[in-house]
Amino acid sequence: MPDQPVSDRSRRIQDVTPFRKLFAFLRHSGYDKRRLDPEVFDFTFGDPHEMATSEYVEALRDAALPQDELWFAYKQSELAAQEAAAAALRKVVDLPWTADRIRMSTGGFGAITVSMKVVADPGDEVVYSLPPWFLYEALAVEAGLVPIKVNALQPSFDLDLEAIAAVITARTRIVIVNSPNNPTGRVYPPETLRALADLLEEASARNGRRIYLISDEPYNRIVFDGATFHSPAEFYPWTLLCYSYGKTLLAPGQRLGYLAIPPAMPDADPLLEAFESVQIAAGWLFPNAVMQHAVPRLEELSIDVAHLQTKRDRFVTALREMGYTVASPEGTFYLFPKSPIPDDEAFVADLAQRGVLVMPGALFETPGYFRICLTATMATIEASLPHFEEALRSTQPG
Ligand code: PMP
């Protein structure tokens, strides 16, 4: 009997280039084994490199102690979690957010994938800028959507609004914006977001069909130099704001996030109801009960952003002194330096030989760069610097 165990749908997901490349990179670099090696300097993922704080652990421990018989019952979005999330978001994004327009999700992943399915039908187009977070394409393809990619402006990595306008068609349903940006560290200025909003408003009117903006902003509390973050939601009411607690708390394995709908979006109820239905039908994509009970306490905690900024400054200064070209990120926990040779994958492989693990720009569809994650400790950063220097020297003649 001619048969294949894997559906065409699964194959289409597995064949997504950035997805395939990511898992091939992890396998070939032996990442899972090597990252535990004390001789290795790991700057690959936004994972913690130190034990969680006692405040974080106590918040979870307390949330695990049942206060009533429904403590561990099926949970959708818990009101106390929604209220705490709305109150905290009001301080980050200057809009009168309310609990009734928040839906708790399994991290940013859950909020993004459900948002895509709620507003777009198979065949609809989703536009985003390169370099992107490497999982947008897999999420889009899984939802049956067609990814349309435009390059960000180089070397600033600002949004290229003309390029975005040029790719909008009658099938465009979603534009994804990620600020502060992974991997470039850019925080888009309000003028750009306002101009993008105007562009989307005009295109929606022309199409006779609303274009939604997914604002992927898990790093909206991780900005440096006292800068103020601005969300696209301030400028475009048809924004689906997707947040993850995985960055602010540096605990991405705990799968906690939410969707927030701006107060100015008209007729949001059908969208919110559809969001819940898709969450259920896609496999009960709500955070577990303990995480939801913990939200009010977790909203009071954060990684030490000032210390992250100190690590950024040390790393950027040292790399520049060596001769690397690297912008100083305005937010997130990533540096995105230029590879000293055009073949970033070869350069990253050379660094790996020296015990330094980073990600090639190829994984972000932007060859010629590489990504360094700043969640490593200052001691790891210091100890890695001579290896960055030797790797650079080895690319220079004589
Ligand atoms: N968007 C971006 C830009 C990210 O960097 C990440 C995590 N790396 C996510 C979404 C997903 O976040 P989470 O894993 O916490 O759901």
pLDDT at 316: 98
In this prediction, residue 343 has a pLDDT band, given cuts at 50, 70 and 90, of very high
Region 206-235: what's the mean pLDDT? 98
Q: How far apart are CA 313 and CA 138, in angstroms?
A: 34
| Lookup: tokens for 327 | 């912008």
pLDDT at 29: 67
Which atom in ligand 1 lies closest to the alpha carbon of residue 106?
16
Taking the centre of ligand 1 as the mean of its atom positions, its distance from the CA of residue 97, in whole angstroms, is 22
In this prediction, residue 30 has a pLDDT band, given cuts at 50, 70 and 90, of low
Residue 85 has pLDDT above 90, yes or no: yes
DSSP letters of 130-194?
ES--TTHHHHHHHTT-EEEEEEPPTTT----HHHHHHH--TTEEEEEE-SSPTTT-----HHHHH
Taking the centre of ligand 1 as the mean of its atom positions, its distance from the CA of residue 98, in whole angstroms, is 23
**pLDDT cut 90: percent of the chain above it:** 93
CA distance readout (Å), 163 to 167, 201, 230, 387: 7, 16, 22, 39
Which atom in ligand 1 lies closest to the alpha carbon of residue 107?
16
Q: How far apart are CA 129 and CA 232, in angstroms?
A: 15
Residue 104 has pLDDT above 70, yes or no: yes
Q: How far apart are CA 243 and CA 228, in angstroms?
A: 17
Tell whether ligand 1 has an atom less than 6 A from the beta carbon of residue 218: yes
Q: Please name each of the domains of the chain with its CATH number.
A: 8-53+303-394 (3.90.1150.10), 68-298 (3.40.640.10)
Taking the centre of ligand 1 as the mean of its atom positions, its distance from the CA of residue 90, in whole angstroms, is 21
Q: How far apart are CA 203 and CA 238, in angstroms?
A: 13
**pLDDT cut 70: percent of the chain above it:** 99
Nearest to 185 by CA among 354, 371, 393: 371
Tell whether ligand 1 has an atom less than 6 A from the beta carbon of residue 178: yes
pLDDT (tens digit per residue) in 294-303: 999 999 999 9
Is the separation of the CB atoms in 247 and 211 below 8 Å? no
Tell the residue nearest (CA) to atom 4 of ligand 1: 133
Is the separation of the CB atoms in 19 and 225 below 8 Å? no
In this prediction, residue 31 has a pLDDT band, given cuts at 50, 70 and 90, of confident
Taking the centre of ligand 1 as the mean of its atom positions, its distance from the CA of residue 359, in whole angstroms, is 16
Taking the centre of ligand 1 as the mean of its atom positions, its distance from the CA of residue 168, in whole angstroms, is 25
Tell the residue nearest (CA) to atom 5 of ligand 1: 182
| Lookup: tokens for 3 | 């048969």
Secondary structure (3-state) at 214: strand
- Which residues have C-beta within 8 Å of that of residue 59, sequence separation ≥ 6? 294, 297, 298, 301
DSSP letters of 34-89?
HTT-TT-EE-SSS--SSPPPHHHHHHHHHHTS-SSTTTTS--SS-HHHHHHHHHHH
Region 77-97: what's the mean pLDDT? 98
Tell whether ligand 1 has an atom less than 6 A from the beta carbon of residue 131: no
For residues 290, 275, 243, 103, the Cα torsion angle rounded to the nearest 10 degrees is -50
Q: How far apart are CA 394 and CA 396, in angstroms?
A: 5
Which atom in ligand 1 lies closest to the alpha carbon of residue 246?
15
Tell whether ligand 1 has an atom less than 6 A from the beta carbon of residue 44: no
Residue 34 has pLDDT above 80, yes or no: no
Query: Tokens 């909206």 sit at which residue?
Result: 220
| Lookup: tokens for 147 | 């990814």
pLDDT at 37: 83
Residue 331 has what DSSP assignment?
B
pLDDT at 358: 95
Tell me the one-letter amino acid at 37: D
pLDDT (tens digit per residue) in 158-212: 999 999 999 999 999 999 999 999 999 999 999 999 999 999 999 999 999 999 9
Residue 230 has pLDDT above 70, yes or no: yes
Taking the centre of ligand 1 as the mean of its atom positions, its distance from the CA of residue 386, in whole angstroms, is 31
Region 254-271: what's the mean pLDDT? 98
CA distance readout (Å), 309 to 6, 173, 180, 358: 46, 37, 14, 19
CA atoms within 13 Å, Cβ hemisphere of 41: 23
- Which residues have C-beta within 8 Å of that of residue 24, sequence separation ≥ 6? none
pTM: 0.97
